Structure 1
Amino acid sequence: MVKIFQVFALAIISFGLSIFSWILFSGNLDTSFHKSIASDIILNPPSIAIPQTLFGMHIKNLQRAPKILENIGCLRVFVPWLEIEEKNNQWNFSTLDNYVELAQESGLEVLFVFNDTPKWAAARPYEVSEFPEHPGAGSEPKDMQEWRDYVRTIATRYQGKIQSYQVWNEANNIKDYSGSIEKLVEMAKNAYEVLKSVDPKIQVVSPGPLVGFELKGNEKYLSLGGMDWLDNYFAQGGAKYTDVVGPHFYNNDLNPEGRLLLVNQVKTIMQKYGLQDKPLWDTESNFGNYNNPKLETEEINGYIARSHILYWASGVSRFYWYAWDLDSFDGEDSLRILEADNLNLSSTGDVYKRVGNLLVGNQLEFCKNDVNQIWICKLTNNVSDKWMVWNSKDNFSFKVPQDWEINSIVSLSGQKTQLPADRMMTVGQSPLFFE
């Protein structure tokens, strides 16, 4: 049913990653989170143009990547330590070299993830890990000097080519990291010292816990709920070795607007430890998991547009989408940027590219919503203004304000239409751009 709502003024307004173990979680979300937006969340977008680096990406298999990556600003690279240095001081840089070369040719910044201890260096070399063929991978190293040597080797080889380093992936996932928070803080301290000695401009990113899941019901998979883990990590000294806060915002609330509540809680933790002025990145996520009904392609496309603009509005300056070439994620082929042939962009990939073209280079003046969950975001540049409008629940009839000087309406599919004489448009979960 189409509801009626009129706006009369603007003021009314590689290995896989651990996501494959995450989809087995019971799905318990922090009970304070829900789909509606809390009234105390303030969206205060930066007073700069949206950069291309808002659009980050993972590529699982380089053979599926084009020679040049377009409409992407940064690349998160995950090549395990156990692959790079399978035996002590025996190095294989080929995979990482290829990732870095792709990034260089495409003009992308690189975020590299330190993860997966080789068996020879592990404190618990026979412990079951995320990868059955690699016991001990989730363990901290038994000798911090071996860790420092590894970090220094990587940082020196790729100086000026890798700009950011993340100290471990999903560290509250027991199989991904089985050590204590105290030990990971020690690893972060050593990595921080080495990285800064190689290049003071390097950014050190915090570990990426799954902040959308609490411990209750997930004891088999998590050492601690994501928010509690992040709080404890900073409390035990991790804040001193953090240039960027980089959690994973996966959660079972499939609504991008619901993630603002997660962002708000992470920012509260950052404030508690004096990190409020540090950048906040979503270093890995997407939407959907097996506990929820299959997401249709149109829903995913709407989520791509809404999540990027809402992240920017809420102070999340990078969103690394997982993944460019995601294999079937419990049937969620709509999450793929590529078609199943791994050659051509999917419809989702087309939308990802189009959203980047519509947002990048524009300054976001504001994003506002009302009690009916109709959202209006105003974008501006030196030439013109545009508005992005959607409803997070239903289809609404929306009257375009008279003071919006627009020539056309663009859908996420790229279709352009003219504004009707009565200025009435139906808006739903897939945003429309009025420009």
Structure 2
Amino acid sequence: MKRKFVLVLLFCVTIFSIYFATSIESSVYYESALKSTIPLNFFGMHIHRATTTTPWPKITFGSWRLWQADITWAYLEPEKGKWNFATLDKYVELAEKNEVEILLVLGQTPTWASARPTEKAVYGKGFGAEPKNIEDWRNYVRTVAERYKGKIRYYEIWNEMHLKMFYTGTVEKMVELSREAYKIIKDVDSSNVVVSPSSGGQNVGLSVLEEFLEKGGGSWADILSYHFYVNPEPPEAMVELIEGVKNIIAGHNLENKPLWNTEAGWFKPKPFPSDRLGAAYVARSYILNWARGVRRFYWYAWDNIQFMSLHTVEPDFKTLKPAAIAYEEVRKWLVGAKMTYCQSDSQKTWTCKLTRDGDYTAYVIWNPNEQLNFQIPQDWQVKEVRDLEGASQKFHDAKSVEIGPLPLLLEDVVS
């Protein structure tokens, strides 16, 4: 009986130790984010048709993920040895002109190179399969990396390996593709940065990420990628998902590798009743991603109005909607600042403190569930309040402010 008790006690201690250690390790992302100045490239974007129907966005961002833009392997090498770089060359020129960094998504095997060339896929037959001959993959990766040496530094191995519509191979094969691509990309230019193939969502994506890391995939990436889709839930649901991903990463001793959200947004059906609340989703998403240690967030998408419900522009792809204005405004709030804390209270009111050089202090506040009267702490010394439309209001000894789902910025200086 005594031996059984000791065994049970040891088991409980072991489980607690693993949980505690994982929790401590996963906090590395959060703590390191709080020490860092928020850079412009944290604000990423997807633009699908920047060389045809979509004018360059009238907002500022620092990084651009090329996906669904006719530049994957199947488009670049539609026939063996016959290359078509015209579109990608134009994207590179646009990126240089507008001073944004490109993240190029690799993969999508052309039919001629596919291990299963008759298999149906969302973009073309065989596109979701791994290549039949690994040498074709190596040649593709090297050709692209050499052509764009010094122009494209960031490469993501594959898009959403957890979804059969994008990838139908095994995790073991994805690890192999990652390993071969990593070696080549680094051989071409050691300063290049390799981003792991993305997984995403709240269910199967986590298990695929776990398996990928378990099989050694993390060794072949400088950055770990995940798509933090929580549709139809609000942005606050991202917090739990991010923590879940961080725990998986920490469980494989990879917590010192940066974590990027390389794609997220809200697809149809529309989970919010108005464009103004959609704008709030954009702002809260960026604030919470940074607060929980995500180092880049590529919004999906600027010009996808068919699939997504949270639109940044009108159908003319020129006129800004509230979501785009909020993106621009929260970018102004965050870039160049440090976030010293971000937390919610018992009423679900979120408070995030920002600081800048020169004794600047500000607080971002919101409540996702209700309108309420927020009592301003006396030591905040608020002098001005800004909203997501860029409007500001001076404060004179005000002791409270009405808050709700749309974040407000409370500053201790007057612009």
> Under TM normalisation by the shorter chain, which class is it?
0.7 to 0.9
Contact 1:118 1:136 in 2 (8 A): yes
Contact 1:288 1:295 in 2 (8 A): no
Distance 1:86 1:295, change over 3 A: farther
Indicate the residue corresponding to 1:304 in structure 2.
Answer: 282
1:71 pairs, out of 60, 73, 80, with 60
Higher helix share: 2
Report matched runs for 1:136-151 at 5 Å: 136-151=126-141
Indicate the residue corresponding to 2:190 in structure 1.
Answer: 200
Q: Output the CA distance in 2 between the equivalents of 1:422 and 1:57.
A: 38
Indicate the residue corresponding to 1:152 in structure 2.
Answer: 142
Indicate the residue corresponding to 1:313 in structure 2.
Answer: 291
CA drift of 1:64 comes to: 4.2
Report matched runs for 1:172-183 at 5 Å: 172-183=162-173
Q: Output the CA distance in 1 between the equivalents of 2:273 and 2:168.
A: 33
Indicate the residue corresponding to 1:110 in structure 2.
Answer: 102
Using CA pairs below 8 Å that are at least 6 residues apart, which structure has the higher relative contact order? Answer: 1
Indicate the residue corresponding to 2:157 in structure 1.
Answer: 167
Indicate the residue corresponding to 2:72 in structure 1.
Answer: 80
Report matched runs for 1:29-40 at 5 Å: none
CA drift of 1:289 comes to: 3.2
Indicate the residue corresponding to 1:402 in structure 2.
Answer: 378
CA drift of 1:420 comes to: 5.7
Indicate the residue corresponding to 2:3 in structure 1.
Answer: none
Indicate the residue corresponding to 1:339 in structure 2.
Answer: 314
Q: Output the CA distance in 1 between the equivalents of 2:170 and 2:58.
A: 38
Work out whether 1:247 is the aligned partner of 2:247.
no
Distance 1:253 1:294, change over 3 A: closer
Indicate the residue corresponding to 1:270 in structure 2.
Answer: 249
Work out whether 1:56 is the aligned partner of 2:34.
no
Indicate the residue corresponding to 2:15 in structure 1.
Answer: none
Q: Per the alignment, in what secondary structure is the counterpart of residue 224 of structure 2?
A: coil
Indicate the residue corresponding to 1:189 in structure 2.
Answer: 179
Structure 1 segments unaligned to the other structure (5+ residues) = 1-37, 215-224
Q: Output the CA distance in 2 between the equivalents of 1:126 and 1:349.
A: 41
Equivalent residue pairs, number: 380
Report matched runs for 1:245-394 at 5 Å: 245-290=224-269, 293-329=271-307, 332=309, 335-383=310-358, 384-394=360-370
RMSD, aligned α-carbons: 1.9
CA drift of 1:336 comes to: 2.1
Q: Output the CA distance in 1 between the equivalents of 2:79 and 2:306.
A: 33
Q: Output the CA distance in 2 between the equivalents of 1:424 and 1:406.
A: 10
Q: Output the CA distance in 2 between the equivalents of 1:254 and 1:100.
A: 35
Contact 1:64 1:343 in 2 (8 A): no
User: Which amino acid in the other structure matches residue 430 of structure 1?
Assistant: L
Work out whether 1:46 is the aligned partner of 2:38.
no
Contact 2:224 2:260 in 1 (8 A): yes
CA drift of 1:351 comes to: 1.5
CA drift of 1:129 comes to: 0.6
Contact 2:44 2:296 in 1 (8 A): yes
Contact 1:64 1:325 in 2 (8 A): no
CA drift of 1:46 comes to: 3.0
CA drift of 1:151 comes to: 0.2
Q: Normalising by the residue count of structure 1, what TM-score does the alignment of the two structures yield?
A: 0.84
Contact 1:70 1:106 in 2 (8 A): no
User: Which amino acid in the other structure matches residue 52 of structure 1?
Assistant: L
CA drift of 1:419 comes to: 2.4
Contact 2:383 2:396 in 1 (8 A): no
Contact 2:117 2:126 in 1 (8 A): yes
CA drift of 1:239 comes to: 1.4
C-alpha deviations, 1:285-317, integer Å up to 9, x for none? 102432x64542111111111111111111101
Q: Output the CA distance in 1 between the equivalents of 2:304 and 2:177.
A: 30
Q: Output the CA distance in 2 between the equivalents of 1:230 and 1:293.
A: 27
Structure 2 segments unaligned to the other structure (5+ residues) = 1-22
Q: Output the CA distance in 1 between the equivalents of 2:329 and 2:231.
A: 26
Report matched runs for 1:417-432 at 5 Å: 417-419=393-395, 421-432=397-408
Indicate the residue corresponding to 2:90 in structure 1.
Answer: 98
Contact 2:175 2:215 in 1 (8 A): yes
Q: Output the CA distance in 2 between the equivalents of 1:336 and 1:253.
A: 15
Contact 1:152 1:194 in 2 (8 A): yes
Identity of counterpart residues, as a percentage?
Answer: 37
The structure with the largest alpha-carbon Rg is 2
Distance 1:83 1:129, change over 3 A: same
CA drift of 1:327 comes to: 1.9
Q: Normalising by the residue count of structure 2, what TM-score does the alignment of the two structures yield?
A: 0.88
Q: Per the alignment, in what secondary structure is the counterpart of residue 256 of structure 1?
A: coil
Q: Per the alignment, in what secondary structure is the counterpart of residue 394 of structure 1?
A: coil
C-alpha deviations, 1:37-89, integer Å up to 9, x for none? x9xx9653331211111110000111344457741010001222111100001
